[in-house]
Amino acid sequence: MARIIGGLTTSHVPSIGGAIARGEQQTPYWKPFFDAFIPVHEWLAKEKPDLAIVIYNDHGLNFFFDRMPTFAVGAAARYDNADEGWGIPVLPSFEGDTELSWHMINGLVHDEFDITMCQEFLVDHAFTLPLKLMYPNAGPTWPIKAIPVTINSVQHPLPSAARCWKLGQAIGRAVESFPKDLKVVVLGTGGLSHQLDGARAGFINKPFDLMCMDKIVNDPVALTRFSNREIIEQAGSQGVELMTWIAMRGALSGRVDTVTSMYHAPISNTGGAVMLLSNEPAPARLAAE
Ligand code: DHB
Ligand code: FE
């Protein structure tokens, strides 16, 4: 059976791609953020996950304001990156797993999530950079397969935190009922607090971010009680990317341990955070296998 062995959350600012391209990982500005991935690399080398489900928000590369699915799931054999501006290099394509994609899509629709299923899907910095941070030395091919899941966080109305939590739970159920042996890691990319435009451009709320990092581990349901308006007030208009973290955590049903956790602000305009949680699948799920 497929098993979710862990969850990784990270900020995904495009300038990470620029820093990698210029080899700036060890400069004083970037070192705290890039060094946060050292324990992640050690964990990946030990656990060797087969596939990453990447929960993120598209920024206009694959979906634009004319057609904006609330939730979308990739069902492609291959996911290409494309030039989205920002001056960051285009990264090699990612191999998908159509069998698991369709299994997830069936599970999500069964669980009353009317998702958009996409057999073509361009992936942006919020998908590619976290995988590049996980596998900085990957050559033209990646050591892991990947499936994109997007949550609309750019065009209102946005789904609620409670709904994103339930989406994550449904993803968890779907993955852990997949009959093939696969080690899966679930990513939630985005956040934490940031606002890129308007009167509060540059807004970061460190106390709120640290509270979210604590709750993600110890009491994730507490985060589902925030309204979208409250999250935007507390974390800035792009701080709603927190939804991706909440969905990731919903997919972890078992005993969760913190492998590593780092907060450093700002990176670019954002409260930068990285967390890796291991997940010991719940006995009920193991018994069902
Ligand atoms: C920044 C952060 C983001 O999440 C993003 O998608 C683009 C830019 C930033 O901090 O610059
Ligand atoms: Fe973003």
Residue 284 is predicted with a pLDDT of 55
Q: What is the DSSP letter of 276?
A: E
Q: Where are the alpha helices (DSSP H) in 49-205?
A: 98-110, 125-134, 161-175
CATH code: domain of residue 70: 3.40.830.10
DSSP 35-87: HTTHHHHHHHHHH--SEEEEEE---SSS-BTTB--SEEEE--SEEEE---STT
What b/e readout covers 184-193, taking b as 16+ CB neighbours within 10 angstroms?
A: bbbbbbbbbb
> Does residue 285 belong to any structural domain of this protein?
no
Number of domains in the chain: 1
Contact 247, 55 (CB under 8 A): yes
Q: Is 269 in the pocket of ligand 1 (CB under 6 A)?
A: yes
CB atoms near residue 206 (< 10 Å): 13
Give the integer Cα–Cα distance in Å for 34 and 282: 32
The answer on pLDDT for 285 being more than 70 is no
Residue 166 is assigned to a structural domain of this protein: yes
Tallying the residues shown for the chain, one arrives at 289
Residue 288 lies in a domain: no
The closest-lying atom of ligand 1 relative to the alpha carbon of residue 241 is 4
- Residue spans of alpha helices (H) in 146-282: 161-175, 206-218, 220-223, 228-235, 242-251
Ligand 1 centre distance from Cα of residue 14 (Å): 6
pLDDT digit string (tens) for 63-73? 999 999 999 99
Confidence band of 139 (pLDDT split at 50, 70, 90): confident
Give the separation between CA 180 and CA 191, rounded to whole angstroms. Answer: 33
Q: Is 57 in the pocket of ligand 1 (CB under 6 A)?
A: no
Give yes or no for residue 288 having a pLDDT over 80: no
Provide the pLDDT for residue 87: 85
Judge whether 194 counts as a catalytic residue: yes
> Could you tell me if the CB of 260 is within 6 A of ligand 1?
no
What pLDDT does residue 247 have? Answer: 98
> CA–CA distance from 224 to each of 54, 74, 178, 190, 192 (Å)?
20, 25, 27, 17, 16
From 41, 156, 194, 264, the catalytic residue: 194
CA separation for the pair 37, 136 (Å, rounded): 10
In this structure, is residue 287 part of a structural domain?
A: no
Asked if residues 168 and 4 have their Cβ atoms less than 8 Å apart, the reply is no
Query: Residue 250 has what DSSP assignment?
Result: H
| CB 238 near ligand 1, within 6 Å | yes
Q: Is 193 in the pocket of ligand 1 (CB under 6 A)?
A: no
Ligand 2 centroid to residue 192 C-alpha, Å: 9
Residue 235 structure tokens: 């974390």
Give yes or no for residue 153 having a pLDDT over 80: yes
CB neighbour list of residue 166: distance below 8 Å, 6 or more residues apart: 250
Give SS3 for 262. strand
pLDDT (average), residues 56-77: 97
Residue 40 belongs to what domain range? 3-280
Query: Whole-angstrom Cα distance, residue 55 to residue 146?
Result: 10
Best residue among 30, 238, 242 to mutate for probing ligand 1, ranked by most atoms within 8 Å of CB:
238
Treating both helix axes as pointing N-terminal to C-terminal, what angle do 242-251 and 206-218 enclose, rounded to 10 degrees? Answer: 10
Q: Is 254's C-beta closer than 6 angstroms to any atom of ligand 1?
A: no
What is the rounded CA–CA span in Å between residue 120 and residue 174?
21
* Per-residue pLDDT reduced to its tens digit, 159-185: 999 999 999 999 999 999 999 999 999
Q: Ligand 2 centre from 202 Cα, in Å?
A: 14
Question: Residue 195: nearest ligand to its CA?
Answer: 1
Are β-strands 78-81 and 122-123 bridged in parallel, bridged antiparallel, or unpaired? parallel
Protein residue whose Cα sits closest to atom 8 of ligand 1: 13
On the question of pLDDT at 281 being above 90, the answer is no
Among all chains, which residue has been given the structure tokens 């596939």?
51
Quickly state the pLDDT bin for 289 (edges 50, 70, 90).
very low
Residue 289 belongs to some domain of the structure: no
pLDDT of residue 254: 83
Categorize the per-residue pLDDT at 283 as very low, low, confident or very high, splitting at 50, 70 and 90. low
- 86: pLDDT confidence band, cut at 50, 70 and 90? confident
Is residue 48 assigned to a domain?
yes
Instruction: Single out the residue of 71, 123, 68, 250 nearest to residue 174, CA to CA.
Output: 250
Mean pLDDT of 42-67: 97
